[in-house]
Amino acid sequence: MAEIKCIGVVGAGQMGSGIAQLAVVNGVDVWLHDTEAEALSRAHNSISKNIERLVSKGHLSQAVEADAARRLRCTSSLDDLISVDMVIEAVVESEDVKKKLFVQLDKILKGSAILASNTSSISITRLASATSRPSQVIGMHFMNPPPIMKLVEIIKGADTSDDTYNATRCLAERMGKTVICSNDYPGFIVNRILMPMINEAFHALHTGVATKEDIDTGMKLGTNHPMGPLELADLIGLDVCLSIMKVLQAGLGDSKYAPCPLLVQYVDAGRLGRKRGVGVYDYDSRPKEIKPLAQL
């Protein structure tokens, strides 16, 4: 099993930049790719500031900071990934978008390279079917935010080889993560359990069981969760939550996974959570409250 020394990370959003940060501070070379120059610049600045903050708190040395800066390179061309040992995609949670990207990468990457998806719910087997290397396709699901959350969920597709799994696991552990392994079922482990809970919290809000504050406080203090389910949904992104619920509903064929109408309404209204400044909660203090459908 060859050691993964250089990776490509496609998608310079919160997840992609977090994965890139983890890699460079743990001695892995990174090509961070995005089609938008502004996204790359924002990600590079964010990574630099985060590492600088860790140094100031004594969590990292200045030598690691300098080494990490040398290891991080940004690009808007997929062709620059030609020599990497693995690509981790962290683009939008859409099967069509991910498949199209994997088709492109399959033609560019060296034959031994691994294609990993940070998908939180989409079938690895179906993504692998779009490539000529299904044995080298795997799910590598980081939790949000990647530099802080300790877990990486690895998902084996129908044809994922043991060598691919072992190399991916070693990389995750090198990044300081605890690894769990899931078979290729909708939602895998974490979101198969988490998203129905978040969806039920939306139903509780939608039907007037309690206020959003009381729902979240109840789950934080009553079950010792660090965040309430509605707060967590805002952090994840309501559009992502909705997408995962649709995958669960379609893949498992059970009406209990149908997205709550209030979740759908919020996404339709552009209330996507922290990344937009407003979701279940308002993060930029402007009056944007939308009443649950049951109260309209």
Residue 18 labeled ligand binder = no
C-alpha dihedral sign at 260, 265, 268, 274:
negative
Does the annotation place 16 within a ligand binding site?
A: yes
Active site residue 120: yes
Q: From the candidates 117, 141, 199, 243, which is the catalytic residue?
A: 141
Q: Per this entry, what is the length of the chain?
A: 296
- Residue 166 per-residue DSSP state: H
Tokens of 16: 């992609």
Q: Please confirm, yes or no, whether 153 is among the known catalytic residues.
A: yes
Q: Tell me whether residue 17 is exposed, middle or buried, using C-beta atoms within 10 angstroms of its C-beta: 0 to 12, 13 to 18, 19 or more.
A: buried
Query: Is 13 marked as binding a ligand?
Result: yes
User: What is the pairing mode between strands 29-33 and 72-75?
Assistant: parallel
Which of 89, 121, 153, 182 does the annotation list as catalytic?
153
222 is annotated as contributing to ligand binding: no
Instruction: Tell whether residue 98 is among the known ligand binding residues.
Output: yes
d(CA 248, CA 267): 18
Distance of alpha carbon 141 from alpha carbon 121, whole angstroms: 9
Residue 11 assigned as binding residue: yes
Bridge partners of residue 155, in order along the sequence? 139, 182
Q: Which residues contact 148 (CB under 8 A, 6 or more apart)?
A: none
Q: Does 253 belong to an annotated binding site?
A: no
Please tell me whether 111 is known to bind a ligand: no
In the residue annotation, 183 being an active-site residue is answered as: no
Q: Is 224 an active-site residue? A: no
Q: Is 14 annotated as a binding residue?
A: yes
Give the position of tokens 């309209």.
Answer: 296
Active-site annotation holder among 118, 123, 191, 243 = 191
Catalytic residue among 17, 117, 120, 199: 120
What phi, psi does 121 have (nearest 5°)?
Answer: -160, -20
From the list 206, 218, 264, the residue with the least C-alpha distance to 239 is 264
> Does 120 appear as a known binding residue?
yes
Residues with catalytic roles: 120, 141, 153, 191
Annotated binding residues for NAD(+): 11-16, 34, 93, 98, 120, 144, 275
